[in-house]
Structure 1
Amino acid sequence: MEKKFIDAWDKMIEKLGSWMDTIVVNLPNVLIAIFVFILSLIASKYISKLILRVLNKSNLRPSMKNLISKIISILVIAIGLFLILGILNLSKALNTILAGAGVAGLAVGLALQGALANTYSGIVLSYIKNLKFGDWIETNDYEGEVVDIDLRAITIKQVDNNLVYIPNKLVVENPIKNYSTTSQSRVILECGVGYESDLRFVKKLTIDTIVNNFDAVENKEDVLFLWREFGDSSINYELRFWINSTSALEVAKAKSETMMLLKDAYDENDINIPFPIRTLDFPKEFTIGNEKDVSKNQ
């Protein structure tokens, strides 16, 4: 038993000695590897700042600029790690790491299909020139101002000041209506006046009211006034004109202001805007009995 213990001890000492020899032999490589690692960290930091400075001159979103700079920084560090493995003669370990990374990447890719789709769509949206911060858009049945675009979702602020986060994939795959691509927006208002009204006078009064109160409307030709139908209780028309705004909120405000201006103008000229009513037409020979007759019948 004592002999076995001595043999085991000798083997352990021999093994430790071989390790020590290996460490001494590879000590220059270890020092070089440490130097390369520190150098790669410093290089990644400065290269990231340089790339970010270059990207600041482009029209990319701030989130995309930071993402690209971080990816390049990670790539620089990854290259440094591969060089370190080569310096330490760990090529077999490198092959094992690459094989494992391939399998792990496939598994992660299958598990994160939705997230990767949103990421790719976010990159696509960052290159669309007609979609930027501050634009008023309508997509996926939501309407509002674009306040943020990242790799997961696009954020829009609605009229009621609520934020809506729409996945980038849905925005890319569905139509986008951008109200901010033009310098003007059209206000459309439908209204009606009583059957007793002078239609030519109503048209002239309505157009003059719009021309005198909106800067974007310079003359009467800029206002489109169309009589649409003979309704149940009114003769209905449609009014259209342009305003100097690309925001749907400003369009709503202009429409509200138009309603107040027209109501004041119509009231001053005794023009009636009737509400839905029902008219009962009785024959001439139809009479209503007096109270005595009614009481007798009761």
Structure 2
Amino acid sequence: MEPVNLLIDQLHGIARGAITLVPSLTVAIIVIFLAWLVNKLAAAALARTLRRTRLRKSLQELFTLLTSIAIWVIGIMIAAVILFPGLTPASILAGLGIGSVAIGFAFKDVFENFLAGIIILFRREMRIGDHVECEGVEGVVARIAIRESHIRQTDGQLVIVPNSILFKNPVTVRTDQEHRRVTVICGVAYDVDVDEARTVITDAVRGCDTVISDSKPIQIFAQEFASSSINFEVTWWTGSKPVEVRASRDQVVAAVKRALDDAGIEIPFPYRTLTFKEPLPLQRAPENKEQPADDD
């Protein structure tokens, strides 16, 4: 019977300990409830305050998240000290420090993306709606979150890029400026007057409505002696969005081709001239004459 009595005594001890913890547990639950209530009120007040600022939505969400984490950490620490009087804020912080190191090693990539996302959110150069290109991914920035950014490609596909990639690699923001310079190569035949061809090309480019010619220069430079033509570098400015660049290039190429045709200036096909050191004898091929058939 001794083992049974020992078990009963242990159960009685556990019950008495639980009863003694009821007041502390009740206060701890009240503290957790108050932390939840304070978190809700702080989030609402912070949202109203941030709404008056010009901060991007993702950055507002970051501030709300950090405030919520701080309130919950303080509330849980107070509840733990009340429930377990032997704990102190210093011991809790020491335990959090050791645990954070272990968690940091286990979730290195997650924290790297998190910190990179915070830095990217404070950047002013890359905004939602910008057309960017990074590591072969090109499209419109649809969302900038804490750990990843959403880029919508021109074909409609959504690419979720970890923020660490955008932070550690060069990012080309194609719509950072309102206008972008476009260049095409146009070749004319060698027997064409270069100045005349330049004038015809310039007038054709200036006549396109997608070309910005009042504040940006149109530049036409003879570039090189190619194998079958003299190539001109045709440069102009247009809108910075990719669709605007494609539309302007289409219009300029069509206008230059039409103007050169109207002026009688040839855009030559590639051709090759063969030169032989010695004269080549020409030999006429024998003619095969059909013999008339004998009449039997």
Q: By the TM > 0.5 criterion, same fold?
A: yes
Q: Secondary structure at the match of 1:209?
A: helix
C-alpha distance in structure 2 between counterparts of 1:76 and 1:262, whole Å: 66
**Higher mean C-alpha deviation, range 30-39 or range 252-261:** 30-39
Q: Is the 8 A contact 1:224 1:239 kept in 2?
A: yes
Q: Distance in 2 between matches of 1:191 and 1:17?
A: 92
Report whether the alignment pairs 1:183 with 2:175: no
Measure, in 1, the Cα distance between the counterparts of 2:277 and 2:7. 127
What percentage of residue pairs aligned between the two structures are identical? 27
Residue 259 of structure 1: aligned partner: 253
Pair 1:67-2:62 in alignment: yes
2:117 to 119, 122, 137: 122
Secondary structure of the equivalent of 2:286?
helix
Q: TM-score, normalised by structure 2?
A: 0.82
Q: 1:256 to 1:68 in 2, by over 3 A?
A: same
Amino acid at match of 2:253: M
1:276 aligned residue: 270
2:227 to 220, 223, 232: 232
Structure 2 equivalent of residue 153 of structure 1: 148
Alignment of 1:9-158 (within 5 A): 11=9, 15=13, 18-19=16-17, 22=20, 27=23, 29-92=24-87, 98-158=93-153
Supply the AA of the counterpart residue of 1:224. Q
Work out the CA distance in 2 between the residues paired with 1:220 and 1:56.
38
- Select which of 281, 284, 291 maps to 1:290: 284
2:236 counterpart letter in structure 1: F
Q: Which runs of 5+ in 2 are unaligned?
A: 290-296
Comparing 44-53 with 160-169, greater Cα deviation is found at 160-169
- For residues 63-91 of structure 1, give each alpha carbon's deviation from its aligned partner in whole angstroms, at most 9, with x where no partner exists: 34223313322322332222223334533
Q: TM-score, normalised by structure 1?
A: 0.81
Conserved 8 A contact 1:33-1:87? yes
Query: How do residues 158-237 of structure 1 correspond to structure 2 at under 5 angstroms?
Result: 158-214=153-209, 216-218=211-213, 222-237=217-232
More helix by share: 1
- Between the aligned partners of 2:215 and 2:286, the Cα distance in structure 1 is 63
Gaps in structure 1 of 5+ consecutive residues: none
CA distance in 2, matches of 1:17, 1:169: 52
Aligned residues: 289
